[in-house]
């Protein structure tokens, strides 16, 4: 009714979705860059549901009109153009165009159950959808469907104006241009609706500010981030349905130096050295997680954290005659010749000797090799006996 390009799920698509098949609606949203609006919570839980989907509560009609619709329009920066209201087919979203010849008008009346209007001498505006062929005609009687739709469109326009939805060229002082934009709805006092009791100021909107942030074409990052794995990995997740890189490690290159990184497989052959059928899929006996572990060892650059408070706390915590060395190895920051032993949580903030991810990975590798060797010896012994 508001002239917005909004397609509906067809009966065929609904049957496909409810029968457990693919959901072509998701593909259409991505291909046509549409926002999915649904009342189904379970639909949003599907892993292939497009991002930015909007969930509505079907039990609250008043909420849908007064809150949900204005919020959707504001979120996407939509500007209403009243002259385009009632120009889209409510059945298929096609365009509605005027029928000019008497023969076409009669065909519409007969096809859509209004045969009594065929011989009517009263001039009547008749329209037909260029998509599904649905027929429409205008009737000024208050009880007619056309009048009810016009009344509903007027109501929605007033609600949207009160809730801060934009209006195209709202600030124009050209009366002719204003009438052209407002169309059949030029009787509405926009300024008065904006100042209604339940109206809210446009500039006070803060919901979903991330949308506005993403629209900023001049975004910049203040950090010099570098990837531990450059160029990027071909994959960190490998399943039957998906192969791609989902895991990253970035660091501030001006603050840290990269010492090393975990070795990761970069091909299916690395994932499946024995050549087993579908052996490259994870989790597996070799790769026990559904994601490949990525990691890097970083060393804080000298004076990267020259914080006066840190210096004060270290000087207060250290005994007056005790010597300390600068930060050295990544796993221990204390001087090895320090007279007294340091507890796990000592005042000088040193890092105790803890196995790193790399060291634990190496231990696991050695353990697997040991088990494999023992198994080979056991098999050889059994064969000999």
Q: List pLDDT tens digits, range 47-85.
A: 888 888 888 887 777 777 788 888 888 888 889 999 999
Q: Which of 11, 167, 10 is nearest to 93 (CA)?
A: 10
pLDDT computed for residue 223 by the predictor: 84
- Mean pLDDT of the region 89-110: 87
Where does the pLDDT of residue 309 fall: very low under 50, low under 70, confident under 90, or very high at 90 and above?
Answer: very low
Span of 127-141, 171-185, 231-245, 318-332 with lowest mean pLDDT: 318-332
- CA 272 to chain CA centroid, Å, is 34
- Placement of tokens 């509505």 in the chain: 56
- Kind plus residue range of the DSSP H or E element containing 70: helix 69-75
pLDDT at 23: 83
Q: What is the pLDDT of residue 342?
A: 53
Q: Name the more confident of 244 and 210.
A: 244
Cis-peptide, bond into residue 283, ω within 30° of zero: yes
Q: What is the pTM of this model?
A: 0.53
Check whether 335 has a pLDDT greater than 50: no
What is the percentage of the chain residues whose pLDDT exceeds 70? 81
Q: Is 301 exposed, middle or buried (0-12, 13-18, 19+ CB in 10 A)?
A: middle
Higher pLDDT, 214 or 290: 290
C-alpha triplet 253, 256, 262: angle, nearest 5°:
95
H or E stretch at 25: helix 24-32
pLDDT at 237: 93
Q: What is the mean pLDDT of residues 99-114?
A: 86
Residue 358's closest CA among 291, 286, 289, 262?
A: 262
Structure confidence at residue 212 (pLDDT): 66
Best CA proximity match to 356, nearest among 236, 259, 264: 259
Average pLDDT over residues 2-18: 85
Tokens coding 22: 């693919």
- Read off the pLDDT band of 345 (50, 70, 90): low
Q: How does DSSP classify residue 322?
A: -
The tokens for 336 are 């090895």
What is the rounded CA–CA span in Å between residue 168 and residue 71? Answer: 17
307 vs 255, residue with greater confidence: 255
Q: Is the pLDDT of residue 354 over 50?
A: yes
Angstrom distance (rounded) from CA 90 to CA 153: 12
Q: What is the pLDDT of residue 106?
A: 86
Interval 231-242: pLDDT, tens:
889 999 999 888
Q: Tell me the pairing of strands 296-300 and 256-261.
A: antiparallel
pLDDT at 85: 93
Q: What is the mean pLDDT of the chain?
A: 80
pLDDT for residue 258 is more than 90: yes
The pair of three-digit structure tokens given for residue 320, joined into one six-digit string: 């007056």
Share of the chain above pLDDT 90, in %: 24
Alpha helices of 98-200 — where are they, by DSSP H?
102-111, 145-162, 175-182, 190-194
Element (H, E) at 372: helix 357-384
More confident residue, 23 or 37: 37
Average of per-residue pLDDT across 331-349 = 48
């Amino acid at each position: 009714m508001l002239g917005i390009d909004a397609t509906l799920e067809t009966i065929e698509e609904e049957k496909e979705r409810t029968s457990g098949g693919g959901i072509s609606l998701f593909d259409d949203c991505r291909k046509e860059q549409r926002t999915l609006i649904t009342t189904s919570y379970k639909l949003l839980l599907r892993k292939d549901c497009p991002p930015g989907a909007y969930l509505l509560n079907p039990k609250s009609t008043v909420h849908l009109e007064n809150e949900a619709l204005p919020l959707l329009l504001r979120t996407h920066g939509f500007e209403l153009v009243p002259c385009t209201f009632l120009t889209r087919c409510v059945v298929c979203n096609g365009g509605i165009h005027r029928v000019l010849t008497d023969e076409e008008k009669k065909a519409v009346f007969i096809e859509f159950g209004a045969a009594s209007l065929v011989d009517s001498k009263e001039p009547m505006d008749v329209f037909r959808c260029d998509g599904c062929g649905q027929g429409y005609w205008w009737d000024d009687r208050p009880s007619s469907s056309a009048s009810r739709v016009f009344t509903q469109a007027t109501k929605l326009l007033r609600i949207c104006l009160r809730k801060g939805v934009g209006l195209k060229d709202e600030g124009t002082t050209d009366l002719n241009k204003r009438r052209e934009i407002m169309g059949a709805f030029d009787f509405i006092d926009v300024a008065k609706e904006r100042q209604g009791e339940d109206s809210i100021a446009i500039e006070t909107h803060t919901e979903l500010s991330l949308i506005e942030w993403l629209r900023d074409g001049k975004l910049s990052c203040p950090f010099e981030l570098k990837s531990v794995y450059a160029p990027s990995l071909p994959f960190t997740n490998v399943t039957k349905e998906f192969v791609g890189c989902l895991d990253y490690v970035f660091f501030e290159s001006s603050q840290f130096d990269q010492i090393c990184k975990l070795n990761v497989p970069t091909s299916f052959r690395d994932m499946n050295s024995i050549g087993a059928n579908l052996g490259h899929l994870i989790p597996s006996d070799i790769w026990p997680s559904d994601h490949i572990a990525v990691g890097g060892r970083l060393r804080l650059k000298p004076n990267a954290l020259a914080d006066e408070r840190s210096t004060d706390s270290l000087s207060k915590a250290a005994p007056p005659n005790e010597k300390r060395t600068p930060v050295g190895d990544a796993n221990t920051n204390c001087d090895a010749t320090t007279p007294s032993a340091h507890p796990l949580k000592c005042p000088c903030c040193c890092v105790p000797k803890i196995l790193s991810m790399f060291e634990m990975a190496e231990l696991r590798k050695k353990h697997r090799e040991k088990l494999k060797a023992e198994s080979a010896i056991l098999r050889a012994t059994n064969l000999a006996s």
